């Protein structure tokens, strides 16, 4: 039986861990991020991978920082055949990668060499890509730079956001990993070096990227809203108030109004002029201190005083 140390954190990793167990791989330990306090009540919450590991009766390690931790020595001492990572969320020391008897493998959420880094799915949506995929790859000291073993892709639908693609890709990754593992274990799987000339990076989303720039085109704004959904969400300063925009589309109409001016307002529509004469049609919104709501509810409440022609987002203020 092939032994594995599995390293993952979010829901994306869970189907992969469950599939390894179901296919009789021996999971020696699961390494995941520490429990975190969440929400207004600061309730301590386990990671989805920890919940799965506990349910599956697997040993769990949760070092705050893996490098230099006592847990790192414990994991190395297990001497697994394979280390398999899937969105673990921490840098892996070289001595850990070298502890695997056969290989250290990563299930990466992009079609490498495009989007090395911690937010490849978000950047694929943000950039309006038409497809996205999974790369099964060897881990290397340099971030996401290891040799590729195999890839699989799926289309990005207009209705997709980061959340839906995380869900879809978790199963693509699960199936591709199960397909490639026999060859990896037999050391007959292909190893394709990445073309360094084609490398792009997808670093973690910053706080600054959460704010929408109304000077961008409506299409770019919609992509940004989808990329930041379900977390952390994108926002506009509407009349100076931080207002999250959860759902929006590109209106079929164009406008000669300045970016940030309301161009349509009725029971169904809340449309703002955006960059290059385009129009952003907002359909779900969340004013500061309120729950998210359909735009009809917003216009009957907080947005009741708005009027067509009013400049509610000031580009220079963003």
pLDDT in tens, 116-165: 999 999 999 999 999 999 999 999 989 999 999 999 999 999 999 999 99
- Give the C-alpha separation, 299 to 296, whole Å: 5
Give the three-class secondary structure for 74: helix
Looking at residue 40, what is its pLDDT?
74
Residue 316 banded pLDDT, cuts 50, 70, 90: low
User: What pTM does this model have?
Assistant: 0.92
Calculate the alpha carbon distances from 291 to 45, 284, 287, 294, 298 in Å.
22, 11, 7, 10, 10
**Residue position matching structure tokens 């910053």:** 206
Query: Percentage of the chain with pLDDT > 90?
Result: 90
Please answer whether residues 103 and 56 qualify as being in contact, where contact means their C-beta atoms are separated by less than 8 angstroms: no
Q: Is the pLDDT of residue 318 over 70?
A: no
Looking at residue 41, what is its pLDDT?
80
Q: Is the pLDDT of residue 53 over 60?
A: yes
Which letter does DSSP use for residue 232 in this model?
Answer: T
Looking at residue 228, what is its pLDDT?
97
Give the three-class secondary structure for 284: strand
Tokens representing 182?
A: 């026999």
Q: Is the pLDDT of residue 166 over 70?
A: yes
Please answer whether residues 212 and 244 qualify as being in contact, where contact means their C-beta atoms are separated by less than 8 angstroms: no
Looking at residue 55, what is its pLDDT?
97
Q: Is the pLDDT of residue 317 over 70?
A: no
Residue 267 banded pLDDT, cuts 50, 70, 90: confident
Please answer whether residues 76 and 70 qualify as being in contact, where contact means their C-beta atoms are separated by less than 8 angstroms: no
Tokens representing 241?
A: 């108030």
Tokens representing 92?
A: 């892996």
Out of 24-33, 166-175, 282-291, pick the least confident.
Answer: 282-291
Give the three-class secondary structure for 87: coil
- Give the C-alpha separation, 37 to 261, whole Å: 40
Q: Is the pLDDT of residue 101 over 70?
A: yes
Out of 187-196, 218-227, 286-295, pick the least confident.
Answer: 286-295
Q: Which residue has the higher pLDDT, 232 or 40?
A: 232
Please answer whether residues 85 and 49 qualify as being in contact, where contact means their C-beta atoms are separated by less than 8 angstroms: no
């Amino acid at each position: 039986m092939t032994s594995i140390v599995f390293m993952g954190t979010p829901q994306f990793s869970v189907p992969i861990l469950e599939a390894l167990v179901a296919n009789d791989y021996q999971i020696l330990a699961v390494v995941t991020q520490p429990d975190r306090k969440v929400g207004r009540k600061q309730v301590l919450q386990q990671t989805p991978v920890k919940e799965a590991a506990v349910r599956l009766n697997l040993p769990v390690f949760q070092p705050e920082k893996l490098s230099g931790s006592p847990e790192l020595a414990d994991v190395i001492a297990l001497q697994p055949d394979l280390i398999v990572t899937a969105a673990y969320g921490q840098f892996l020391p070289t001595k850990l990668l070298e502890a695997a008897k056969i290989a250290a493998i990563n299930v990466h959420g992009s079609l490498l060499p495009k989007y090395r880094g911690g937010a490849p799915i978000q950047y694929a949506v943000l950039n309006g890509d038409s497809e996205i995929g999974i790369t099964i790859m060897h881990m290397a000291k340099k971030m996401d730079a290891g040799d590729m073993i195999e890839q699989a892709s799926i289309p990005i639908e207009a209705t997709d956001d980061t959340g839906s693609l995380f869900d879809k890709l978790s199963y693509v990754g699960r199936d591709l990993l199960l397909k490639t593992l026999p060859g990896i274990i037999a050391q007959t799987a292909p190893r394709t070096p990445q073309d360094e000339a084609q490398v792009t990076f997808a670093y973690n989303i910053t706080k600054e990227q959460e704010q929408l720039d109304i000077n961008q085109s409506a299409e770019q704004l919609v992509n940004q809203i989808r990329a930041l959904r379900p977390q952390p969400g994108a926002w506009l300063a509407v009349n100076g108030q931080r207002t999250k925009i959860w759902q929006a589309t590109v209106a079929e109409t164009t406008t000669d109004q300045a970016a940030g001016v309301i161009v349509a307002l009725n029971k169904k529509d809340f449309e703002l002029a955006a960059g290059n004469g385009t129009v952003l049609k907002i359909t779900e919104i969340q004013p500061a201190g309120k729950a998210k709501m359909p735009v009809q509810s917003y216009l009957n409440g907080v947005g009741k005083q708005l009027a067509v022609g009013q400049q509610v987002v000031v580009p220079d203020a963003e």
